[in-house]
A and B are shown apart, each in its own frame.
Chain A
Amino acid sequence: MKNNQAELLEQLMEVGFVLVETNLYLDTHPDDERALRLHNTFSQKYKELECIYEAQYGPLKFTSMSVLPWQYVDDPWPWDVDFGKCRC
C-alpha cells in the first residue's frame, strides 16, 4: 500500500472518530451550537477526504461508484493493512 493511501486512510479514521464523538455528544446536547459547528466542520472534512481517496484509490463503500472493472474487491482488504508501519 502506498504511503499516501495509508495516510489518507488514517486521516479518514481520525476524522471519522471525531464524528463518532460529536455524534454521541450531540445526542445528549442537541442545542450545543459550538459542538454542532465542530461536527459540521469535520463532516465536511470527512466528505472531502472520502472524495480525494476514492478518486485515487477506488470506492471505500459499496455504495460508491467504481470504474470498470469493479474496484471494491481490490487489495488490500482492511485487515491486511499494517498501520503500525505508517505510524511514527
Chain B
Amino acid sequence: MKDKENCIYCFPPMEPYTRLANAYVPFQIMDKVFSPKEALMKGTLFPELHDTYKKEVYCK
C-alpha cells in the first residue's frame, strides 16, 4: 500500500462489502478503445487490458 504505482488494491476501489479470503475481479468500465488494426495486433480492443510482458519484471 506504500507505493501507489505498484499498488494492486488501489484501483479501482473495492466495494465496501468485500470479504477476506474471497476472490474478486474489478469491474471493467470501457473508456478509450484501440483502432481495429491496433486491436488485432495487440490482441485486445481495450488499452487497460493491454499488458505486455516486461522482461525486467518477469525474467529475473
Please give the residue numbers on chain A whose beta carbons come within 8 Å of chain B beta carbons, in ascending order.
11, 13-15, 17-18, 21-22, 25, 28-29, 32, 34-35, 38, 42
Contact = CB atoms under 8 A, between A and B. Distances in A.
Contacts of A22: 45
Contact of A18 (B28, B30, B36): B36
Given A15-B36, A25-B28, A29-B28, 11 more contacts: A13-B40, A14-B40, A17-B45, A18-B33, A18-B45, A21-B45, A22-B45, A25-B30, A25-B46, A28-B28, A35-B30
Contacts, number: 32
A42 B45 CA distance: 12
The A contact surface, by secondary structure, is: helix
Interface string B15-57: 0000000000000101001001101100011100000000000
The B contact surface, by secondary structure, is: loop
B59 to A, nearest CB: 27
Interface residues on B, range: 10 to 19
Contacts of A28: 28
